[in-house]
């Protein structure tokens, strides 16, 4: 066991049996059950807000992580290098597999139940998400990159790919922002997980648990559904059948209203992954771009037909037809 880990664990009032590494953290077997220890860049106040929501979920019977207070009653415990860590109650189980259809449908059902539970918690947690503001900002950034590249004489392959594709994606971005602004049916705000991915859904023999609530905020439940489904569909060649099944599963538990369908469509319409590549380019050295970033742009083009087919499927369920 590392001295660094023990410097943190010594600040808790339980016996430690074993410690092992996991994704970006440590799993700790203790006399009070399994714990998860990781570095943390958030404040005591922010963690306290998250804990209020997590305790409310626990009281409602929903299995989710909770923070563990140290001997001083605080949430943050510093190691010998003064780096703050948090400890959470943890669960036995495996991560949901993005390539297993049953896992994905189960994770979407869990998300619907999570949203039902979060809807009953009367709290506003910053930041409050406004997709229109985000999209307008990202559109300006894509326009800036386009203008810069149009004036650049010598261009790398990555830059040529951008110039060949940026107009179509920017048009989708502007369309999403305009449709959201003019939409007559908008969903209601509620608490959202903020980072609901297959990594944060643990499936066990006796049940499930949801982790990774550090991005908890007040927003729209379509956000969580979009983030989970988009990552799954990208790994499954934008399977329309799988997408339809996941939506059917979610709606069977927590039916979506017209505003939810509208926003879900617009979230998928907005070219978020394309913007991320342009944002990366805009904020890095221009004299070298890795092959991996070029490959990501090319993959977006390769998956375009599948994404367009799924967008057409969602469009039929909106007020925009």
pLDDT in tens, 63-110: 999 999 999 999 999 998 999 999 999 999 999 999 999 999 999 999
8 A C-beta contact, residue 35 and residue 27: yes
In the chain, the domains with their CATH numbers are 3-90 (3.30.200.20), 101-315 (3.90.1200.10)
> Which residues lie below 8 Å from residue 140, measured CB to CB, with a gap of 6+?
none
Percentage of residues of the chain with pLDDT beyond 90: 88
Q: Identify the pLDDT of residue 1.
A: 45
Longest dimension (CA), the chain: 65
Say whether pLDDT at 111 is over 60.
yes
Lowest mean pLDDT across 54-68, 154-168, 244-258, 263-277:
154-168
Among 5, 195, 200, 17, which residue's Cα sits nearest to residue 103? 200
229: Cβ contacts below 8 Å, ≥ 6 apart: 108, 243, 246, 247
- pLDDT per position as a tens digit, 120-176: 999 999 999 999 999 999 999 999 999 999 999 888 889 999 999 999 999 999 999
Segment 295-320, tens digit of pLDDT: 999 999 999 999 999 999 999 999 99
Separation of alpha carbons 281 and 294, rounded Å: 10
């Amino acid at each position: 066991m590392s001295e660094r880990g023990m410097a943190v664990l010594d600040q808790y009032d339980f016996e430690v049996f074993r410690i092992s590494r996991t994704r970006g953290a440590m799993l700790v077997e203790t006399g009070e059950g399994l714990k998860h220890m990781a570095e943390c860049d958030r404040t005591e106040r922010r963690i306290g807000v998250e804990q209020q929501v997590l305790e409310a979920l626990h009281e409602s019977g929903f299995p989710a992580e909770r923070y563990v207070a140290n001997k001083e009653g605080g949430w943050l415990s510093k190691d010998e290098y003064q780096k703050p860590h948090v400890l959470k109650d943890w669960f036995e189980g495996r991560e949901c597999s993005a390539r297993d259809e049953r896992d994905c449908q189960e994770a979407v059902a869990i998300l619907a139940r999570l949203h039902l539970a979060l809807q009953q918690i009367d709290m506003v947690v910053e930041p409050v998400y406004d997709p229109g503001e985000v999209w307008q900002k990202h559109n300006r950034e894509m326009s800036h990159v386009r203008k810069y590249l149009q004036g650049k004489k010598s261009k790398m392959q990555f830059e040529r790919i951008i110039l060949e594709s940026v107009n179509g994606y920017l048009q989708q971005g502007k369309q999403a922002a305009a449709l959201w602004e003019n939409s007559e049916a908008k969903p209601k705000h509620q608490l959202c997980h903020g980072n609901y991915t297959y990594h944060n859904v643990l499936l066990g023999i006796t049940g499930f648990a949801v982790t990774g609530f550090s991005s908890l905020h007040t927003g729209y439940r379509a956000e969580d559904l979009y983030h989970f489904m988009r990552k799954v569909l990208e790994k499954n060649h934008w399977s329309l059948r799988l997408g339809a099944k996941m939506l059917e599963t979610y709606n069977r538990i927590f039916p979506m209203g017209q505003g939810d369908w509208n926003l879900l469509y617009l979230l998928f319409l907005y070219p978020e992954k394309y913007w991320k590549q342009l944002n990366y380019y805009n904020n890095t050295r221009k004299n070298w771009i890795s092959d991996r970033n070029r490959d990501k742009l090319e993959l977006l083009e390769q998956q375009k037909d599948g994404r367009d087919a799924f967008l057409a499927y969602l469009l039929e369920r909106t007020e925009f037809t």
